[in-house]
Amino acid sequence: MITAVVQFQLPEGTSHDDIVKTFNTTTPKYEGLSGLIRKYYLIGEEGTAGGAYLWESREAAEAVYTAEWRKMIAERYGSEPVITYFETPVIVDNVTGDVVKGATK
């Protein structure tokens, strides 16, 4: 499995409520998306936001993070997204009580 962390700078003056409303309008795009296990919407300090995505594979992630997707993010949020990939070999889920080991590329 792969975790992708996507970050972007929000337009100056974007309120917390505005970004949450925008995030809520985008959830249907990710529901049932092939290869996506989980997505967390993130709001950082200093006007940053993004998402943490758990993917079945890097190929599944890259199939979504196309030039068109990057353009859509830039147009919606006012800056280009930066994507960082992490191999995710072990997951501890305290909600379900599951531990997933050996989850490699």
Mean pLDDT of 79-92: 95
Per-residue pLDDT tens digits for 23-82: 999 999 999 999 999 999 999 988 999 999 999 999 999 999 999 999 999 998 989 999
For the 2-101 domain, the top CATH level (class) is alpha beta
Q: Dump strand ranges (E) for 1-105.
A: 2-9, 36-43, 48-55, 82-87, 90-93, 98-101
Q: Residue 39: CB partners within 8 Å, gap ≥ 6?
A: 30, 51, 52, 53, 54
Residue 105 has pLDDT above 70, yes or no: no
Q: In this prediction, what percent of the chain has a pLDDT beyond 90? A: 90
What are the sequence ranges of the domains in the chain?
2-101
